[in-house]
Homo-oligomer: A and B are copies of this chain.
Amino acid sequence: MTDPTLPPEHARLLRKLRSLGEVSPEEAGAIAALPMRSRSYLPHQPILLEGDRPEACGLIVEGFVHRYKDLAQGSRQILSFHVPGDIPDLLTMELKSLDHSLAAVTATRVAFIPHEALRALGAAHPRLWALLWRDTLVDGSIFREWMVNLGRRSAHARIAHLICELMVRFRSVGLTEGHAVESPLTQAELGDAVGLSTVHVNRVLQELRREGLVEWRGRRISTQDWEGLTQAGGFDPGYLHLSPETAWAAQ
């Protein structure tokens, strides 16, 4: 299925696109020919800042990235998390000036593909272009679910929901071991994602542990009771629009 001689960057992109839809051998060939330039980032290092006007898109090859906006009084809102295979700044193809920032959460490697090359790829292979469009639509779907989380769920449910999402998405890219993930997030970051203070995140997390829903020790999250956790968070993975196979792998 995957050509063993393919560089890891290209393999990662191919795998991502295949999770979104069919990719023909010719299309795969065109992907393999994409110019990419990798760069590494340390934990917490910014990748792009609000207002930047990059000329390339960054494919996450390894690591964990988040989008966020800083506001006035030092507070910030995390907008999304990204795992290997994601291209969080794909939007810079069309929206020249970035309206938010992007930073590494853990040590991360990003492969940059020039806009020009992507544009040529899309022109030559409209179906690949459609897959990229599809990816931005899934992105939007996740934003909408987060809006529900932020606007209408209790602290308890918000955190349960986010843990469910991370669990499923990590599994879909093979980053789980059984029911556990190596969580890259501090409680402060969790709070910035779900719109709660660090202190309150801590208390709610203790509650979730007491209820036997999750375990959170050091960097390691594991779900003790997946049924209960999804119920507590009102979590329904449909909004992630995972392909049947990937969703299956996520079980």
Contacts of A234 in B (CB 8 A): 71-72
Q: Is the CB of A241 within 8 A of B95?
A: yes
Residues of B within 8 A of A58 (CB): none
Interface string of A48-71 (1 = CB under 8 A from B): 000000000000000000010101
Please name all residues of chain B whose beta carbon is closer than 8 Å to the beta carbon of A145 when the two chains form the complex: 99
Copies in the complex: 2
Check B126 against A95 for contact (C-beta < 8 Å). no
By beta carbon, the residue of chain B nearest A238 is B99
User: Would you call B134 and A95 a contact (CB within 8 A)?
Assistant: yes
Is A79's CB under 8 angstroms from B144's CB? Answer: yes
Q: A164-206 CB contact bits vs B (8 Å, 1 = yes)?
A: 0000000000000000000000000000001100000000000
Does A2 reach chain B (CB closer than 8 Å)?
no
- Chain B residues within 8 Å of A3, by CB: none
The smallest C-beta distance from A190 to any residue of chain B, in angstroms, reads: 12
Whether B94 pairs with A130 at a CB distance below 8 angstroms is yes
- CB within 8 Å of B: which A61-91 residues: 67, 69, 71-72, 75-77, 79, 91
**In whole angstroms, how far apart are the Cα atoms of A133 and B72 in the complex?**
31
Verify A95–B152 contact, CB threshold 8 A.
no
For this complex, 13 residue pairs linking A to B, each with C-beta atoms less than 8 Å apart, are: A72-B234, A77-B147, A91-B141, A94-B137, A95-B134, A95-B137, A95-B138, A99-B239, A100-B144, A123-B126, A133-B136, A147-B147, A150-B195
Expressed in whole angstroms, the minimum distance between the Cβ of A232 and any Cβ of chain B is 12
In Å, the complex CA distance between A168 and B79 comes to 23
Residues in B neighbouring A238, C-beta threshold 8 A: 97, 99
Q: Are A71 and B148 in contact (CB under 8 A)?
A: yes
Tell yes or no: A139 within 8 A of B by CB. Answer: yes
Interchain nearest-CB distance for A194 vs B (Å) = 7
A112 at the interface (CB under 8 A from B): no
Tell me if A143 is interfacial: C-beta within 8 Å of chain B: yes
Interfacial residues of chain A within 115-163, with CB under 8 A of chain B in the complex:
122-123, 126, 129-130, 133-134, 136-141, 143-148, 150-153
> Do B69 and A133 have beta carbons less than 8 Å apart?
no
A147 to B126, CA, bound (A): 32
Q: Which residues of B contact A148 (CB under 8 A)?
A: 69, 71, 77, 79
A57 → chain B closest CB, angstroms: 13
